[in-house]
Structure 1
C-alpha cells in the first residue's frame, strides 16, 4: 500500500455493495483508506448528510475533497487528469485538522461481534412433554374432510387419555394441552382454536410444518419465547442477518451465496429460523411488526437463494413469491403473504386476483393497519434492480425507512428527470416499483409524482421534478426492471 500524507475516507454501512466496490477499487490501486461505518457510528450520519447533502452510501472523501459515491469515484478513476489531481491532493497534503468526522471507538454502538449474546436459547420446561408427545404414538395422518388429509394430528381426547395413563388427572392433562397450545408447540386444526378441549372432534397438529414446503420446517429447539415476546429472537435474527450481508463478492456486484451457504452464521440462522414457528407475533406493536416482517422477508429471500431456489423465468418468479415461505407464529407466510398481506395491509399484489388473507384467516390479525409506501424501498427481492439490502429495528424503523427511501430516490435506478425542449414535455423516468404499487403512492399519476417530489431530497432532482409539475408539462416512463439475480450460482 502507498503511504499518503493525507487520507481517503469511505463512509458506508455493513453489506453495502457499492461500498465494497469502492473499497475494492482503492485496494486495486494500492491506496490505503479509512472506513467509517455509520451503522456502528450513527452520530456520524447527521454530519455526513449536512456535509454532502446525500443520504446514500458510500460517500468518499480525499482529504477535504468530497468525491461522492461509487459511480463518482469510478468516473474520477476513468478521467486520468481528475484522478491524478485527487492523488496529488492526498499524497502531498495532510487533511485539514477537524474537517473530516473520524469517530472515536468509544462512540460505537453494539457491533455485530456481539450478535451471539443477543438471544440465548433457554429450553422451555414444556419441551420435555412435547418431545414425549412426538413419541407417544397418538399422532397420525388423518383425512378430516373429504378431500383434505391432515398430517401430524391428534384428537384432544386421545391426548387426555394418554396423559391420564401416565398418572395425570383430566384437569391437569387439559392444562398441559393448553400450555402446548399457548406456546405454539401445537396448533388447533379448527380455525380460531384458542383453548385445548377434551374432545374426539377437536384435532390439533404439531407446529413443525413438516407437511409444508416452508424453509424453516422441522422441530424447533424449544426455546423460551414468552420472556419479552418476539423481540429478543427478532433482534438476534437481525444481527445474524447483518453478518450474512457481509458475504458480498469481491467486486461488490453480487451477493456471494456460496460463501453464505458454507458459513457458520448461516447454519446458526437456519437453526434459529425454526423458532419463528412459535414466535408470539401478538406481542409486537405496529412498528415492531413492520421491522420484524421487513427483516424476515429479506432474510427469507436470501435463505431461498442459498438453498438454490432462485427463479429463472416469469413462471418460476410467480412460484417463488407464492411458495417460498416460513412458518411464523404457527402459520405459514409466503413472500407474497408478507409483502401484500402483512406489510401492505392485505392489499392485492400486482399479479394477484384477490387479497392474500380472507376474513376468517387468522393471519389477518398480523396485517398492518395502513400501508407505509416506504416499505417498497426496504424489501430486497433478490433481483439486480431491487433496492439495496438493509435491516431495520423496531424502535427506529420509521427513521430507518425514511433513510432507505431518501437514498433510493437519489439513485438513477429510481428517478431521472429529463427537461423538455421546444415545448416538449419533461420526461420523468421512475422505477417500475412506482408503477406496480402506484395505489400505495396516490390515486393518479400526478399524485405519484407529487409524492416523489415531496420525498426526494437531492436538489437537482427535486428542483427539476417540481418545475415539471408546476409547468404541468410532463410525461412518465418507467425504467425497465432487471430481474437478473443479484448473486452467483450456489452450484
Structure 2
C-alpha cells in the first residue's frame, strides 16, 4: 500500500512538473514580447505593433489550452495572462489612433463587454474573464493588481508572464508595488487616499475596514507607521487616469 501511494505521489509530481514546463514553453513568446516592449509598466505600443504576429500566435496558443487540465495556481496564472495579453491585442487593434482603452468601446458597449477573447470553450469578453472567472473562482483580491487595463492609473503591467509556481510571490509583489507607490497611496488631512480600485471592488477586500487591513498588510515601513498613527480609518479614493499606459 505504501509503495503504491509513493508511486502515485511521484506520478502526480511528474504530471504537475511537466505541466509547468509546458506552460513555460507556451508563455515564452509572450515573455519575450513583455521583455522587449514593457518597462516599468509602460508599454511601447509602436514596437509591440511590429511584433503583433507573435502576439497573435501566442493568443492562439492560449485558446488551445484546456484550463481543466491545469493545477489551481497554473489555471489562475493562465487566466491572468489571458486577460493581459488580450488587452494588449485590443489596444493594438486601434493603435495608433487610440488615447485610452475607453476609445475601443462605443456608446452601446464598453471595451470590456466586447466578446473577442478566444478560449477553448468559446469566445468571451474581458469582463467575462475578470468577473466570471478570476474573481468568483479564485477569491483573491490581489488579482486586481495583476490584471492590467492599459491605463496609467491601473497597476502596472508585469514585465513577465504569471506562472503557477511563482504566482503567490508575484501577486504579493504586484500588490506591494501598487500600494507603496506614493501616487496611489498617501495621507492628506488625516485621510488615507487610495486607488479607486479599492472603491470599485471593496467587497473583494471586505469593505472599508478590510481595505485598511489589506493595505496595512503590504505597506512599507513609512506608510505602515503613518497608518498605525492615524486616529481614524478614513479613506478617500483618488481620480482614475484612463489615458493609455504607453510611451
Q: Normalised by the size of structure 1, how large is the TM-score?
A: 0.42
Q: Is 1:453 matched up with 2:243?
A: no
How many angstroms apart in 2 are the aligned matches of 1:236 and 1:314? 33
SS across alignment from 1:461: helix
For each residue in 1:266-307, what CA deviation from the matched residue of structure 2 results, as whole angstroms up to 9, or x when unmatched? 313312422333321111121111111111111111111111
Which residue of the other structure, out of 215, 233, 236, is the alignment partner of 1:477? 236
Q: What residue in structure 2 maps to residue 256 of structure 1? A: 44
For each residue in 1:391-429, what CA deviation from the matched residue of structure 2 results, as whole angstroms up to 9, or x when unmatched? 3111110111111111111102331123x5xxxxx1110
For residue 308 of structure 1, report the CA deviation from its aligned partner: 1.1
Q: Is 1:416 matched up with 2:186?
A: yes
Q: Which has the higher contact order (CA 8 A, sep 6+)?
A: 2
For residue 461 of structure 1, report the CA deviation from its aligned partner: 0.5
For residue 344 of structure 1, report the CA deviation from its aligned partner: 0.2
Task: Map 1:181-192 onto structure 2 (within 5 A).
Answer: none
Q: Is 1:243 matched up with 2:32?
A: yes
Evaluate the alpha carbon distance shift between residue 259 and residue 292 of structure 1 in structure 2; reply closer, same or farther with a 3 A threshold.
Answer: same
How many angstroms apart in 1 are the aligned matches of 2:103 and 2:200? 20
Asked if the contact 1:311/1:320 (under 8 Å) is kept, the reply is yes
Q: Normalised by the size of structure 2, how large is the TM-score?
A: 0.80
SS across alignment from 2:103: coil
Q: What residue in structure 1 maps to residue 121 of structure 2? A: 330
Which residue of the other structure, out of 227, 232, 245, is the alignment partner of 1:465? 227
Q: What residue in structure 1 maps to residue 94 of structure 2? A: 308
Corresponding residue pairs, total: 222
How many angstroms apart in 2 are the aligned matches of 1:316 and 1:414? 30
How many angstroms apart in 2 are the aligned matches of 1:317 and 1:460? 45
For residue 445 of structure 1, report the CA deviation from its aligned partner: 1.5
Task: Map 1:347-362 onto structure 2 (within 5 A).
Answer: none
Q: Is 1:434 matched up with 2:194?
A: no
Q: What residue in structure 2 maps to residue 90 of structure 1? A: none
Which residue of the other structure, out of 395, 399, 402, is the alignment partner of 2:172? 402
5+ residue gaps, structure 2, are 1-17, 96-100
For each residue in 1:130-180, what CA deviation from the matched residue of structure 2 results, as whole angstroms up to 9, or x when unmatched? xxxxxxxxxxxxxxxxxxxxxxxxxxxxxxxxxxxxxxxxxxxxxxxxxxx
SS across alignment from 1:452: helix
Evaluate the alpha carbon distance shift between residue 428 and residue 314 of structure 1 in structure 2; reply closer, same or farther with a 3 A threshold.
Answer: farther
Evaluate the alpha carbon distance shift between residue 318 and residue 486 of structure 1 in structure 2; reply closer, same or farther with a 3 A threshold.
Answer: farther
Evaluate the alpha carbon distance shift between residue 241 and residue 416 of structure 1 in structure 2; reply closer, same or farther with a 3 A threshold.
Answer: same
Q: What residue in structure 1 maps to residue 131 of structure 2? A: 340
How many angstroms apart in 2 are the aligned matches of 1:237 and 1:325? 21
How many angstroms apart in 2 are the aligned matches of 1:317 and 1:476? 33
Which residue of the other structure, out of 49, 54, 77, is the alignment partner of 1:291? 77
Asked if the contact 2:20/2:165 (under 8 Å) is kept, the reply is no
5+ residue gaps, structure 1, are 1-227, 346-367, 421-425
Asked if the contact 2:30/2:58 (under 8 Å) is kept, the reply is no
SS across alignment from 2:234: strand
Which aligned runs of 4 or more in structure 1 are off by greater than 6 angstroms?
A: none
How many angstroms apart in 2 are the aligned matches of 1:253 and 1:408? 11
Q: Higher helix proportion, which one?
A: 2
Q: What residue in structure 2 maps to residue 76 of structure 1? A: none
